[in-house]
Amino acid sequence: AQLQCQCKDEDVQALQEEHKRHKSKFMPIPNVLVPMESIIMAAQAVLCKLKNHQFIEMWYWTNDGLDVADHLKVNNVDDCLLSLITTAEGLPMFVPSASTHNKLDPIPDKDLTFEQFGQASIQMVATM
């Protein structure tokens, strides 16, 4: 009887250690519905610049910037297409074509209204 009790205690302790080591493996899955509305994303060229840690105007994440990107279908440029550019060192480099397309004329950050700045900051943080 003591041996069985000791084995159960060891099993419980091993299971607790397993839970500590692999927390994500044992996380409960929330029972939520699948979202039905489409996700609004910034232009693909902007996302490529963000990925490359380049400066991006916040206008791209305002409601106006997201609407313009959606209407111009800039975000449908194929990621598989590559463009050949020359770097500052004079070396050729292949980059996604989406990063070389810049059809949008953004409003400079200093000219954004407080409301636009609030919209953009929320959308930009969500994108990051």
Q: Is 43 helix (H, G, I), strand (E, B) or coil?
A: coil
pLDDT higher than threshold 60 for residue 4: yes
- pTM as predicted: 0.49
**DSSP H or E run through 84:** strand 82-86
What does the block give as tokens for 110? 């200093």
Start-to-end CA span in the chain (Å): 57
What does the block give as tokens for 122? 């929320």
How far apart are alpha carbons 65 and 125 in whole angstroms? 15
Across 34-44, average pLDDT: 77
pLDDT higher than threshold 60 for residue 21: yes
Q: Looking at residue 99, what is its pLDDT?
A: 59
State phi, psi for 112 to the nearest 5 degrees.
-70, 145
- Output the average pLDDT for the chain: 79
